[in-house]
Chain A
Amino acid sequence: MDQSLYKNIFVFVEQRNGQIQNVSLELLSKAQELNEKLNEQVVAILLGNHMDEQAHELISYGADIVLYADAPEFSIYNTEPYTQAVNQLVQSYKPSIILIGATTIGRDLGPRLSARIETGLTADCTALEMGDDGHLLMTRPAFGGNLMATIVCKEHRPQMSTVRPGVMMKGLKDISRKGNVEKVNIQFDSSKFKVKILETVKETKNLVDITDAKILVSGGRGVGNAEGFKKLNELAKTLRAEVSSSRAMVDLGVVSHDRQVGQTGKTVRPDLYFALGISGAIQHLAGMEESDFIVAINKDKDAPIFQTADLGIVGDVNQIVPLLNEKLQKEMK
């Protein structure tokens, strides 16, 4: 393989209902940073329908070129039309790197595409940098976050990586940036379109995104049950915070999955994170350890959460939380 034929960084831009997802803007920003060493171009790939305006906006967030394919087949994500489209663009433009958000969409598209292209894919990266020999160094957690591994894809191009939302920093919008939007046509083989989407349902409980919260009140097994969790809701209300949880509370059905923090949930980095009755399994820590300030309350003085917490209290959350809430209400009046 002549690797010199492969140039430029592709960023797959994810849209839902015509709305560009934040993770894609985070990736454009990261791609620009990687490009400082490469001096090539950052190419945004946008598949959508009637999205001309959004296509231009991608330039302000770091795209040098936007390849925009406008077709009704792209209005809602579906594996096969999207794979065909990105594959065609990869074959004709030959990027050296492809970055994709590690969402339910990106994690469906990425591996399918990598097998079609026959190249490597590194999932859920938390750090990306250009190595001195020109290969992309892709760092990701393994063994449920117990170990970090840096992966390279030396012999194959493009180098593909998915990155979790909220891990990279989104750049500021710069309307003075210059770039081009190029409309591209995709040749479909519709005989392969075998998955029919009948209905897309948004659940209203999912309206708040915990990754946007400044303060999170998070509960785990030590909270006990739904009754115990009510106290957390009250504390959150006082602090104008959101509630989140470890996996235990989701498994019990007390909290919905979209509020789960951790390896199989979301990565959060609020200013303040309350870990209440959370023992601190490594899977949970992986999702919250970048928080600015972590307060942990747990009965077990040896709980691993205390190694990550900035302030640790050995005690019963069910006693301390109501007292704290009362005190805060008085103070904040």
Chain B
Amino acid sequence: MKIIVCIKQVPDTTEIKLNPETGTMIRDGVPSIMNPDDKGGLEMALNLKDQFGAHVTVITMGPAQADQILREAYAMGADRAIHLTDKRFAGADTLATSNALAGALRMLEYDLIITGRQAIDGDTAQVGPQIAELLDLPQVTYVEDLQFANDTFTIKKANEEGYQIVQVETPCLITVLASANEPRYMSVNGIMTAYQKEVEVWGFDNISVDETKLGLKGSPTRVFKSFSKGAKSVGQKYEVDPKMAVEIIMEKLKEKFII
């Protein structure tokens, strides 16, 4: 079985703080991590490798520093890593990103393509299904668990009210939730060898995609403006003993006619 996992390097948005006066983002010192849903997807692929001896390729699109998450993937147990990077890919919205990734994926063999459900910097959840469409593959999103037998995946797919059990044959694409599993740690041996292994760097010339479909040029959507939400007027804050605290809360609830 050949599996390709699409991963993305993202700022750890849980570490971003807002300047309370201006309401603007403080980006300095925010660490970059492998997107949590993607890491869940990689773990799922490595599980299939443990069970069936699958070959796992990881691919990312991003600037030079994204090399770091490919090394991390090697250290976790991936077999091959591809870094898609070119200034002609820059400024891409989700569709242009999907065009580039699908272009690279067309150059590879696969039975299963895995993406995370969504990336924590954009939260769009679009790239997985868009790649599936561009490659004419069936998709299953919000995957929590999967079993494999007779070229068929039996999948537990989460929704708001519970879950569905669905079946799909290879080749197919799934998008995985971070909550699906507990990603393994990088192995000591893996860390030692991760930087000796080759990360293949691919650019525009490695994929056959029309330049007008890539980067900013190939993006139907544009950011018209961006703004911070601004600081909200701060309410009252009390540092008192528990008894007093209860009195204050009770008073407020009465004032608001809640009790």
Whether B140 lies near A258 (C-beta < 8 A) is no
Binds B, one of A61-69, A177-185, A309-317: A309-317
Say if the beta carbon of B250 comes within 8 Å of chain A: yes
Whether A144 lies near B16 (C-beta < 8 A) is yes
Whether B160 lies near A114 (C-beta < 8 A) is no
Chain A 112-139 near chain B by CB (<8 Å), digits 1 or 0: 1011101111111000000100000100
Given contacts A121-B126, A144-B120, is CB(A304)–CB(B17) below 8 Å? yes
Minimum Cβ distance to chain A for residue B65 (Å)? 18
- Contact-residue bracket for chain B: 35 or more
Whether B242 lies near A315 (C-beta < 8 A) is yes
Say if the beta carbon of B47 comes within 8 Å of chain A: no
Given contacts A143-B25, A283-B13, A306-B237, is CB(A148)–CB(B167) below 8 Å? no
Say if the beta carbon of B227 comes within 8 Å of chain A: yes
Q: Which residues of B contact A220 (CB under 8 A)?
A: none
Given contacts A108-B129, A115-B95, is CB(A194)–CB(B226) below 8 Å? no
Say if the beta carbon of A254 comes within 8 Å of chain B: no
Binds A, one of B73-81, B106-114, B183-191, B215-223: B215-223
Whether B226 lies near A195 (C-beta < 8 A) is no
Whether A112 lies near B132 (C-beta < 8 A) is yes
Name the residue of chain B whose CB is nearest to the CB of A146: B25
Whether A115 lies near B98 (C-beta < 8 A) is yes
Q: Which residues of B contact A105 (CB under 8 A)?
A: 159
**C-alpha gap A206/B162 in the complex (Å):** 7
The 4 A-B residue pairs with the shortest CB-CB distance, nearest first, are A120-B220, A144-B13, A120-B221, A312-B237
A-B contact pairs, 15 of them (CB 8 A): A108-B141, A110-B126, A115-B95, A131-B224, A148-B228, A150-B225, A198-B154, A201-B163, A263-B123, A308-B232, A310-B236, A311-B236, A311-B248, A323-B243, A328-B250
Known A-B contacts: A123-B124, A142-B226. Give 9 more (CB < 8 A): A103-B159, A108-B142, A144-B16, A148-B229, A152-B224, A195-B139, A297-B245, A309-B237, A328-B259
